[in-house]
Amino acid sequence: MLTLAVDVGTTTTHCVVHRFDPGDPARGDGRFRPRHELLFESQVYFTPRRPDGELDVPELTRLHREELAAAGFPPGRLGMGAALVTGEAARCANAHEAVTALSGLCAALVSALAGGHAESRLSGRGSGAQGDSQERLRSVVCLDIGGGTANLSRFQCGRDAGFCNLRIGGRMVRFDAAGQILSFTPVAAKLSEAAAYRLEVGATLLPEAQTALAAAAAELLLRALQGDDLPAWAFDTPWDRPAPVGLPDALYVAGGVGELFHHPEIVDPQRFQDLGADLAAALSHRLPKALAVPLPPQSLRATVVGVGEHALLLSGTTIHDGRKDREALRDLAIVELPAEGELPALPAGAIAWFLRPPADCDFDLLERLAARILAAEVLRKSEMLVAVLESDLGKAFSVALRLAAKRWKLDSQILCLDCLDLSDAVLLDVGAPLPEGAVPVLARTLVFPTV
Amino acid sequence: MGRILHADFRLPDAARELRSRTGARIAVGRAGTRPTTAELLKMRIDHAAACDAVRTELSTEFVQLCGCSLDLSTQAEGREGYLLNPPLGRLLRPEDRARLTAAVPACDVLVAVGDGLSSAAAQTQAPLVLPVLLSALELEGVGKVAGPVLVRNARVGVMNDLGEATQARVVVLLVGERPGLSTAESLSIYIGYDPRPGRTDAERNVLSNIHAAGIPPAEAAAQAASWVKGMLDKGVSGVDFKP
């Protein structure tokens, strides 16, 4: 299967195509360790904007459609995909519309992801930081700096150890060829105050002010990467783990500014007309010598490669798929079943139950959990009952569900998947099963920022 | 002086991480050139558990706990005879075979529990597997299910005898695996279509490593039931069976 991933960022947009090979299930635990082979990287385009600052959706779709068609990937060839609207672009009122329009690029199932920690998680994986941490059993931070935001992800021995997003990026300040300031962000204003400069639209940005501003932003990034406390205005989403943790063993610098960080020789000051190159240089000068800074396999495309390789998940193989036509399911709202107590309020549309039974869980507990789900589903009279378990208990739980359904005389189709962690996800898309028995899913965190 | 109950906290993150990924004895420390007393004792405890698992007879309480309708034996004489003369573990005693034929009229699926090389595995896992397996077989609609019956001193090959004695289309045998130092309680479920004398391992399928740190017993039971259904539908098992 070929998969598509599209990144619509603050400054640039691009896409990649992967070949998705589920491989064979492992002998020990029966799980798949799928491989993703990067087949195609599109050109990097400036994200098309309308004069009012919103996304130019028709132009955006046209760019990608033509790019893909020219490379030999018409919609019929792309099986599954994901579109990611990142950074400041996610704040556009029509970000959702853009994702819907991009859906047409892919045949079966295209999904949207956006925002906050999900972005950090994906760029941390796409950049190779997570793989490094897992392989070398060390702490690694990925710093993915784009136009609007910097996404940080920390990994310890391959495990997620914290994510945050800062409102720092190359396009904090934009100026024209003559150096006149076109626009700046509130965070840039705060930083310039500290450096005793005042930013004003129309004023000329002096070289020393430019350097001082980039230095202040780089300082902030350095503090963030050690987990130090930062002023609230700097954060888009703060660290999700307790800080401070100190310097990691290695740092991966990715994103558009990351590209300039690793390849300062390509810097053309007239191309972007923003703070990106200065920020890359300032960061480069300030990093402690002891910190290993490997050249990432992916820097500019870290996030989109992360989407292509990690947003598409495979369930375990011992599952139950009672879908009559094995048709793809879209936009299931994920509802986590609490271990005990009241059920959360259920959304009106289709839902997927997510359960995290303890490792030593016996069948009695599974039957009790199934009874609670059935009590709710009977009222909803849903035709499709979807449950997802974190541990390898999908098939067993499907037996509990089917027994309970029989008792309640509910003849809905039952789909029960396992070996999937949906803890941070909001929406779930489920594809048709692969011949090997596993089912591909896309877990989405559709958190479009409202600010 | 206080006593350290678990020295794990002294390990660097990387070593602790590696340890958490395997049941093997890695990063266990040392005292000079020798293992620590604590590690040596742990290994001897695990070794003793493995020896016990091989030599212990299945208890009569276990037979009741599993709801086994028949308590059968192979031609091996006790655990000692079973270990010394393994091929006898594949053949039912003639009188037990006759009892089985008389008690179980023709059925589609026969469920049996054998001790194999670990009675501890059977005692621990079979009570967790059987109720789920029987419920799941009923849900799958596999026809008439007989058992469970108990077979003492059993090897996997006894499935052929069980099949011939009952004319079952599919035999499911829960059997204890050879114990090791990481667990003595690992169970396998062997499933064969049309098992008759002469059938080989290539004509059976197995779900193995069913224990606390392996495949959960309930999950294995549910999976076994859908394999049984698949084998009955396709009329084949073993390497030719594609689940």
A154 in Cβ contact with A162 (< 8 Å): yes
Identify the pLDDT of residue B153.
94
Q: How far apart are CA A108 and CA A2, in angstroms?
A: 11
With a cut of 70, say whether residue A411 has pLDDT above it.
yes
**Residue A116's pLDDT band (cuts 50, 70, 90):** confident
The SS3 call for residue B61 is: helix
- In one-letter notation, the amino acid at residue A101 is A
- Smallest CA–CA distance, residue A320 to chain B, in Å, is 9
Taking an 8 Å cut-off on Cβ atoms, the answer to whether B216 and A396 are in contact is yes
Contact residues, A window 377-396, toward B, CB-based 8 Å cutoff: 391-396
- Among A165-179, A186-200, B180-194, which range has the highest average pLDDT? B180-194
A191 in Cβ contact with A161 (< 8 Å): no
| Owner of token pair 């993703």 | A36
| Full strand arrangement of the beta sheet holding A139-145 | A235-237, A159-166, A150-156, A139-145, A250-254
Q: How far apart are CA A224 and CA A234, in angstroms?
A: 10
Structure-block tokens of residue A425? 């996800």
Identify the pLDDT of residue A109.
53
Neighbours of B67 (CB within 10 A): 12
Element housing A442 (H / E): strand A440-444
**Which of B188, B219, B242 is most worth mutating to test chain A (most A CB atoms within 10 A of its CB)?**
B219
Of A138, A139, A363, the CB nearest to B132: A363
With a cut of 50, say whether residue A450 has pLDDT above it.
no
Residues of B in contact with A438 (CB under 8 A): none
Taking an 8 Å cut-off on Cβ atoms, the answer to whether A437 and B221 are in contact is no
Taking an 8 Å cut-off on Cβ atoms, the answer to whether B136 and A399 are in contact is yes
With a cut of 90, say whether residue A10 has pLDDT above it.
no
Element housing B46 (H / E): helix B37-55
Phi first, then psi, for residue A155 (nearest 5°) are -130, 140
- Smallest CA–CA distance, residue A138 to chain B, in Å, is 7
pLDDT per residue over A293-320, tens digit each? 999 888 888 888 887 777 778 888 888 9
Taking an 8 Å cut-off on Cβ atoms, the answer to whether A395 and B215 are in contact is no
Half-sphere exposure of B69 (CA within 13 A, CB side): 13
- In one-letter notation, the amino acid at residue A198 is R
> Dihedral, CA atoms, A196, A197, A199, A204, nearest 10 degrees?
180
Of B14, B132, B212, the CB nearest to A396: B132
Is A349 touching B (CB cutoff 8 A)?
A: no
Taking an 8 Å cut-off on Cβ atoms, the answer to whether A158 and B17 are in contact is yes
Q: Which residue has the higher pLDDT, A448 or A384?
A: A384
Strands A250-254 and A139-145: parallel
Of B135, B216, B226, the CB nearest to A403: B135
**Residue B181's pLDDT band (cuts 50, 70, 90):** confident
**Residue B7's pLDDT band (cuts 50, 70, 90):** low
With a cut of 70, say whether residue A202 has pLDDT above it.
yes
pLDDT per residue over A363-376, tens digit each? 999 999 999 998 88
Half-sphere exposure of A273 (CA within 13 A, CB side): 13
Contact residues, B window 153-192, toward A, CB-based 8 Å cutoff: none
Closest chain A CA to residue B214: A29
**Which of A156, A395, A401, A416 is most worth mutating to test chain B (most B CB atoms within 10 A of its CB)?**
A395
**Residue B6's pLDDT band (cuts 50, 70, 90):** low
| Cβ partners under 8 Å of residue A29, min gap 6 | A392, B215
Q: Which residue has the higher pLDDT, A22 or B83?
A: B83
Taking an 8 Å cut-off on Cβ atoms, the answer to whether B13 and A30 are in contact is no
Residues of A in contact with B14 (CB under 8 A): 137-138, 157
pLDDT per residue over B78-135, tens digit each? 999 999 999 999 999 999 999 999 998 889 999 999 999 999 999 999 999 999 999 9
Q: How many CB pairs under 8 A join A and B?
A: 61
Q: How far apart are CA A148 and CA A160, in angstroms?
A: 24
Q: How far apart are CA B103 and CA B110, in angstroms?
A: 12
Strands B109-114 and A250-254: unpaired
Burial class of B121 by CB neighbour count within 10 A (0 to 12, 13 to 18, 19+)? buried
- Among A30-44, A433-447, B22-36, B91-105, which range has the highest average pLDDT? B91-105
With a cut of 80, say whether residue A90 has pLDDT above it.
no
Q: Which residue has the higher pLDDT, B20 or B71?
A: B71
Q: Which residue has the higher pLDDT, B32 or A115?
A: B32
The SS3 call for residue A390 is: coil
DSSP one-letter code for A411: -
Burial class of A344 by CB neighbour count within 10 A (0 to 12, 13 to 18, 19+)? exposed
pTM: 0.81
Neighbouring-strand partners of residue A417:
A388
With a cut of 50, say whether residue A32 has pLDDT above it.
yes
A153 in Cβ contact with A118 (< 8 Å): no
Average pLDDT over residues B59-75: 88
Half-sphere exposure of B235 (CA within 13 A, CB side): 0
- Among A311-320, A436-445, B10-19, B71-80, which range has the highest average pLDDT? B71-80
Of B18, B131, B215, the CB nearest to A363: B131
Taking an 8 Å cut-off on Cβ atoms, the answer to whether B219 and A29 are in contact is no
Taking an 8 Å cut-off on Cβ atoms, the answer to whether A363 and B136 are in contact is no
| Owner of token pair 């501003």 | A213
Closest chain B CA to residue A398: B222
With a cut of 60, say whether residue A96 has pLDDT above it.
yes
Contact residues, B window 224-243, toward A, CB-based 8 Å cutoff: 225-226, 243
Mean pLDDT of chain B: 90
Mean pLDDT of chain A: 85
- Across A426-436, b (16+ Cβ under 10 Å) vs e yields ebbbbbbbbee
